[in-house]
């Protein structure tokens, strides 16, 4: 996704307990033979705080 004017995408790691839960959940899913195409993005969504913000420019 390419940011456009008036849009900001912030990606920050969450606090440590949530990161450990996401890592453990992703590892458990891969260990249980889940598809990596599903397990890895799901673990990243748990581990990362992703915010998309829109604002209006000056007219």
Domain boundaries, the chain: 25-59
- pLDDT (tens digit, 9 = 90+) per residue, 10-46? 999 888 888 888 888 888 888 898 888 888 888 888 8
Say how far apart CA 5 and CA 28 lie, in whole Å.
Answer: 40
Q: Are 53 and 7 within 8 A, CB to CB? A: yes
Query: What is residue 1's predicted lDDT score, i.e. its pLDDT?
Result: 59
Helices first, then strands: H and E counts in the chain? 2, 2
Q: What is the pLDDT of residue 51?
A: 92
Residue 4: both structure tokens together: 């456009």
* pLDDT score recorded for residue 9: 86
Q: Who contacts 25 (Cβ-Cβ below 8 Å, separation ≥6)?
A: 42, 43, 46
Model confidence at 2, pLDDT cuts 50, 70, 90, reads low
């Amino acid at each position: 996704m390419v940011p456009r004017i008036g849009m900001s995408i912030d990606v920050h790691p969450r606090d440590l307990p949530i990161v450990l839960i996401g890592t453990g959940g992703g590892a458990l899913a891969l260990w249980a033979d889940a598809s990596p195409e599903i397990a890895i993005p799901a673990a990243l969504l748990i581990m990362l705080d992703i915010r998309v913000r829109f604002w209006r420019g000056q007219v």
